[in-house]
Amino acid sequence: MHSTPARKPYPSDVSDEEWSLVVPYLTLMTEAAPQRDYPMRELFNALRRKRANPLVAAAR
């Protein structure tokens, strides 16, 4: 898995409480599975950012 550099959180990032509710539905394989390149939480946060700002994400 790629190491994710520390970053400043976005307002759309999932909270610890929200993550604890969502993660059981997203993890069909373990976090350490060789197929995973990025942490699942970072991918989930990226999806939330894109949904929250579709025009900004489309302009990139």
| Residue-level pLDDT, tens digit, the chain, 60 residues | 555 668 888 888 889 998 888 888 776 767 677 777 788 888 888 888 887 776 654 555
Residue 41: exposed, middle, or buried by beta-carbon count in 10 A (0-12, 13-18, 19+)? middle
The residue range of the domain holding 53 is: 15-21+36-60
Q: 10 in a domain, yes or no?
A: no
The pTM of the whole model exceeds 0.85: no
Q: 59 in a domain, yes or no?
A: yes
Number of domains in the chain: 1
Q: 30 in a domain, yes or no?
A: no
Residue 8 phi, psi (nearest 5) = -75, 130
